[in-house]
Chain A
Amino acid sequence: MNQVSELRANWIAFETIFVKEVRRFMRIWPQTLLPPAITMTLYFVIFGSVIGSRVGKMGGFEYMKFVVPGLIMMSVITNSYSNVASSFFSNKFQRSVEEIMVAPVPHSIILLGFVMGGVVRGMFTAVIVTMLSLFFVSFTIHDYLITFTAVFLTALIFSLGGFINALYARKFDDVSIIPTFVLTPLTYLGGVFYSLKALPEVWRDISMWNPILYQVNAFRYGMLGRAGMVDISDAFLVMALVSAVLYAVCLYLLNKGKGLRH
């Protein structure tokens, strides 16, 4: 097999995994796309109409305007993570992952196929939530490229995280532990609902170690034009670094056969 045909074969293998992943979450849309739409609508109603009007300004914007980018990011994080974690784990659980493992698919292709499926779900969710937010607040996007890159990198990071979770998971409960006990607290404390300036200095310093803060603020900059206390180039540097490290970890674990081969 020459190099060109090997490249073509790898592309078809990637396409197969990726399309299968996208079809999966589209087919079960009431479980994958509808819940974030409902949850975020509730958030918009509560923060926009009920609480938001009493909070006043946050980070130089009306509270509703401030909170929208954070809520979009929150749904991107949870959806991209859970997509890869649950899909790959259910392949493991049903042993259908063996179909891919016996085939001549490079590990990097397996990883990219599943992870890009998670990225697309994350971005799909972002579009849905953004459109819903327009019923509650009007805004124009400050910088499309930064907005898109921030969503893409965030979805990528959490899809990779979901993949690692799925490799280690032995039962379905293991897939929900990290989102419940790690992701949700980090997201809530990552500047989704408040500006870092509102925090006491100690908590502000601690928050600077939270990687989600950089994603939320980079995205907020892309949408609204202000990133709060986070430097925008630092934010993208952190995201790029975390993506690269997680990709390397995933590939290492796959090559080792963690959770897949005895």
Chain B
Amino acid sequence: MTKALEIRNLHKTYDNGHVALKGIDLEVAQGDFFALLGPNGAGKSTTIGIISSLVNKSSGKVSIFGHDIDRNLTLAKRHLGIVPQEFNFNQFEKVQDIIITQAGYYGMRSTVARKRCEHYLKALGLWDKRHESSRMLSGGMKRRLMIARALIHEPKLLILDEPTAGVDIELRRSLWDFMEEVNRNGTTIILTTHYLEEAEQMCNNIAIIDQGQIVENTSMKKLLGKLQKERFILDTLGGLQQKEFNVEGYLIEPRDDFSFEVEVDKTQGLNRLFTELGKSGIEVVSMRNKANRLEELFVSMTR
């Protein structure tokens, strides 16, 4: 089956001598929801820039749905939609005009463009703002505008470069729902984000890029399986300071009178911990991960 994205031995050295990519290989399957993660300056934006032909590559191959960007750039571009990190639309244009103009660049007839524009602006909650100048929109609305713009030609591969940066939690969740629906309808999505919870929740596969190289490329499940230890915070009914408790095999660190932290090895499980706590008269009322699981792995891999 043709890959949605295929990158082979991609190198990029900028004119100032900075080596941004040191030979990247990457494959994204059709229909996937793929996370491309990495710290700032790791090479994510350069990679996306090359895929979207906004950055010249030094060497290597990039194919979008089997269309090599060196040999068949026009067809490759037809399959691609990009939501960049920075706002890149004319701030003095009206919301609807930005979308319709973009449709025109893709050679879309105005009647089709207008119908799709209405559909996406409604789906992203921007229909009421369609006649407003784009500079009057809030940051979150501007991001949604760029998503609508990227979808107007109904691409088969959508790249979202930090689409929820600076967006409040409620809106972020609604965007997640929207992106999941787009993915369910058959669009392959590549997501870069600094909210690792977002990647963990939505993506099936993941690549981590660091210093211009892919340091991990696997399924989310396998990656999380590599986590050997997890730290939890347990909240109790209180009175911890009056009690002496220690459970053999578990590293326990009190936080305050009502909660404590515990480090649990993957091989141990939690049943014995709860049994022992019960014997000591400690009633646990809630439990949560201290840090996002993916975050712990990410930090260890890109340290």
Contact = CB atoms under 8 A, between A and B. Distances in A.
B108 A104 contact: no
Given A20-B101, A94-B90, A94-B91, A99 B149 contact: yes
Contact of B53 (A1, A5, A16, A102): A102
Interface residues of B, number: 33
Interface of A: 1, 5-6, 8-13, 15-17, 20, 91, 94-96, 98-106, 257, 261-262
B88 A99 contact: yes
Contact of A102 (B52, B75, B104): B52
Nearest to A11: B107
B75 A12 contact: no
B9 interface: no
Contact of B104 (A13, A94, A261): A13
A141 B14 CA distance: 56
8 contacts: A6-B107, A10-B107, A13-B105, A13-B106, A103-B106, A257-B56, A261-B55, A262-B15
A72 B153 CA distance: 44
Interface string B83-98: 0101111110000001
B74 interface: yes
A49 B55 CA distance: 57
Contacts of A103: 77, 102, 105-106, 153
A80 to B, nearest CB: 22
A99 B75 contact: no
Contacts of A12: 104, 107-109
B149 to A, nearest CB: 7
A13 B105 CA distance: 4
**Do most interface residues of chain A lie in helix, strand or loop, or is the interface mixed?**
helix
A98 B56 contact: no
B78 interface: yes
A102 B74 contact: no
A6 B108 CA distance: 11
Interface of B: 14-15, 49, 52-56, 73-75, 77-78, 80, 82, 84, 86-91, 98, 101-102, 104-109, 149, 153
A40 to B, nearest CB: 28
A97 to B, nearest CB: 8
Contacts of A104: 73-75, 77-78, 105-107
A109 to B, nearest CB: 9
Most buried by B among A8, A94, A102: A102
Contacts of A95: 86-88
A103 B77 CA distance: 6
B105 A96 contact: no
The 10 A-B residue pairs with the shortest CB-CB distance, nearest first, are A9-B107, A16-B104, A103-B105, A95-B88, A104-B77, A104-B74, A96-B90, A12-B107, A98-B88, A102-B52
B56 A101 contact: no
B15 A101 contact: no
Given A1-B75, A96-B89, A102 B109 contact: no
A102 B101 contact: no
B53 A99 contact: no
